Amino acid sequence: MPLAAVGQMRSTPSLHQNLTQAQSLVRKAHAAGASVLFLPEAADYITTAPSHSLCKPVSDSEFVTGLQEAAKQYALPISVGVHEPAPGSKVANTLLWINTSGEITHHYQKLHLFDVSIAHGPQLQESKTVERGSHLPTPFLTPIGQLGVQICFDLRFPEPALSLRSRGAQVITYPSAFTIPTGRAGHWEILLRARAIETQSYVVAAAQVGVHDEGGKRRSWGHSMIVDPWGKIVAELGGDEGGEGEGMWEDEGEIAVAEIDLEYLEKVRREVPLVRRTDVYPKIA
């Protein structure tokens, strides 16, 4: 059975440093015998300052071209979240699929943007700087099955996951930079397992972890994981619990792997058939 590798990293404003981390994860995934490597949202950079100088077309991004070279060198497909220029002054939060030849064959632009104002917690307005996507791509064939793609905050909406399942998805990925307060509240694990159970699919969620800037304004929960179609966590990495007095989270750059058993997936779907009452409520296509 093929192995999926989920990678966890701590992106900073340094494209070079982030590429070094990502390339290390490629080597680790290859050594582990993985068929696919999943990297987090915003793997190219995370910054609290204006970032237009860091956001480049993929053809000009040293981060992206470096990963394309690594994918080709190790014959390892890579799913990775990056930023791309969007019309006007905004950027696009996108997910790229890089094949074993180092070619970018699929793009997805994040549909649901993270606009939150949590008391004594994150104050983030992603929509101020990011252009939302307008298309949910059809799942595509990968070495681990038909893959449906989403990004982070999309996780809170079951409709696109159900749509991806109805269109043939066997695996759904949610690359993320999840916040500490929502992670502490259990939302990360609960939502990932819920999406796996309700779609009877594998869910692969590569996450950012730790402090991303010197001022400590941005930090991510971590706990990258792979969940099977029964809702069982079959691979998980550690996280940043965000405790008072904690410094920089240094244990970045790790992978976890799990087998993707499509026969088991079909067994779950066969034994617990989800027959929807579309005569009563609308069909999600």
User: Which residues are part of the catalytic machinery?
Assistant: 41, 110, 152
Q: Is the separation of the CB atoms in 202 and 226 below 8 Å?
A: yes
Sign of CA dihedral 261, 265, 267, 268: positive
State how far the alpha carbon of 221 is from the alpha carbons of 17, 122, 188, 243, 252, in Å. 20, 13, 9, 11, 12
Tell me if residue 69 falls in helix, strand or coil: helix
Q: Diameter of the chain by CA atoms?
A: 55
Helices 15-31 and 62-74, axial angle in degrees (round to 10):
10
DSSP 133: P
State how far the alpha carbon of 178 is from the alpha carbons of 141, 152, 193, 219, 221, in Å. 27, 7, 15, 8, 5
**Residue 202 φ then ψ, to 5°:** -75, 140
Report the Cα–Cα distance between both ends of the chain, in Å, rounded: 30
Give the list of residues 6+ apart from residue 214 with CB closer than 8 angstroms, or none. none
CA angle at residue 217 from 119 to 112, to 5 degrees?
65
Give the list of residues 6+ apart from residue 15 with CB closer than 8 angstroms, or none. 44, 45, 54, 61, 62, 63
